[in-house]
Chain A
Amino acid sequence: MNVSDLSRRNFLKTSSALGLGGLMAGTFVLRANAAPGVIDVIINSDTNILDFWTQVIKPGFEAANAGVTLNLVSSGGGAATDLLAERAFAALQTKTDPQVDFLEAYGPYHPADAISAGLWTDFPKAGLANYANINPVTVRNEWSLPYRGSQVVMFYNGDKIPNPPKSFPELIEWIKANPGEFAYARPDKGDSGACFIERALQEVTGKNPDLFKGDNYSESYAKPFYDKLWPLLKDIAPSLYKGGEYTAGNTPSIQLLASGAISMTIAWSDMALTAINEGVVPESTRLAQLGDLAFTGGFSTIVIPKSAANYALAVKLADFIISPEIQNKIVTGLGGFPSLKWDAMDPALAAKYAAAAPTSIPEFPGTWEPSLFDGWYREVAANLARD
Chain B
Amino acid sequence: MASDLAPPPKTSKNPLGLLMIAAPVVLMGLFLLYPALRVVLRTFGAADGSPGFSLENYARFFNDSYSLNNLGITLWTTVVTLILLIVVNLPIALYLRFRKGRLATFIQALALFPMFVPGVIICYALIRYIGPNGLLQSLLEHVGITGYQTPIMTPWGPVIGLLWDAMPFTLLVLTAGLAGISNAAIEAAQDVGASRLRILWSIVLPQIRGSLVVCTSLNFLSLFGSVLQPYMLGPTSPELMGPFMLRTFSSVRDPLQAGTQATITFLICSVAGLLYILSMGNRRKAEKETVA
Spell out A's residues near B (CB within 8 Å). 1-3, 5-6, 9, 12-14, 16-20, 22-24, 27-28, 76-80, 82, 186, 188, 242, 245-246, 248, 252, 255-256, 259-261, 369-370, 373-374, 377-378, 381-382, 384
Report the separation of the CA atoms of residues A22 and B258 in the bound assembly, to the nearest whole angstrom: 11
Interface: B98 (CB within 8 A)? no
Interface residue? B210 (CB, 8 A):
no
- B127 contacts A17, CB within 8 Å? no
Residues of B within 8 A of A246 (CB): 236
Residue contact B221 to A13, C-beta cutoff 8 Å? yes
Q: Which B residues, 47 to 104, have Cβ-Cβ distances below 8 Å to chain A?
A: 66, 69
Nearest Cβ on chain A to B56's Cβ, whole angstroms? 18
A82 CB contact (under 8 Å) in B36, B242, B253: B253
B66: chain A residues within 8 A (beta carbon):
377-378, 382
Among A13, A16, A384, which residue has its beta carbon within 8 angstroms of that of B237?
A: A384
- Contact among A260, A374, A382 for B251, CB-based, below 8 A: A374
A362 to B: closest C-beta gap in Å: 22
A18 to chain B: which residues have CB within 8 Å? 36, 225, 262, 265-266
Binds A, one of B11-19, B128-136, B198-206, B277-285: B128-136
**A-B contact list, 30 entries, CB within 8 Å:** A3-B3, A5-B168, A5-B172, A14-B32, A16-B225, A16-B226, A16-B242, A17-B224, A18-B36, A19-B245, A19-B246, A19-B265, A20-B32, A20-B36, A20-B262, A22-B249, A23-B255, A24-B35, A27-B35, A188-B251, A252-B127, A256-B132, A261-B132, A370-B251, A373-B251, A373-B252, A377-B236, A381-B236, A382-B66, A384-B235
Chain B, range 243-260, C-beta contacts under 8 Å to A: 245-247, 249-255, 258-259
A236 to B233, CA, bound (A): 23
The one of A2, A76, A245 that contacts B1, using a Cβ cutoff of 8 Å: A2
Nearest chain A CB to B143 CB, angstrom units: 20
By beta carbon, the residue of chain B nearest A27 is: B35
In the bound complex, how far is the Cα of B214 from the Cα of A346, in angstroms?
66
The reply to whether B35 and A17 form a contact with Cβ atoms under 8 Å apart is no
Q: Contacts A12-B222, A18-B36, A248-B231: A79 and B172 contacting too (C-beta < 8 A)?
A: no
Nearest chain A residue, comparing its CB with the CB of B134: A259
The answer to whether A79 touches B255, judged by C-beta atoms less than 8 angstroms apart, is yes
> Whole-angstrom distance between the alpha carbons of A382 and B69 in the complex?
9
What residues on A are CB-neighbors of B242 within 8 Å?
16-17
- Report whether A5 and B115 are in contact in the complex, using a CB–CB cutoff of 8 Å: yes
Given contacts A19-B258, A23-B249, contact A9 B32 (CB under 8 A): no
How far, in Å, is B36 (CB) from chain A's closest CB? 6
Contact A370:B252 (CB < 8 A) given known A20-B36, A242-B153, A259-B134: yes
Q: Which of A3, A186, A260 contacts B236 (CB 8 A)?
A: A186
B160 at the interface (CB under 8 A from A): no
Q: Closest chain A residue to B119 by CB distance?
A: A12
Residues of B within 8 A of A13 (CB): 221-222, 225
Fill in one digit per residue for B198-234: 1 if any A CB lies within 8 Å of its CB, else 0.
0000000000000000000010011011110001100
Contact (Cβ within 8 A) B153 A28: no
> B45 at interface (Cβ–Cβ under 8 A)?
no
**Docked-complex contact B169 and A5, CB < 8 angstroms:** yes
Residues of B14-49 whose CB lies within 8 A of A = 31-32, 35-36, 39
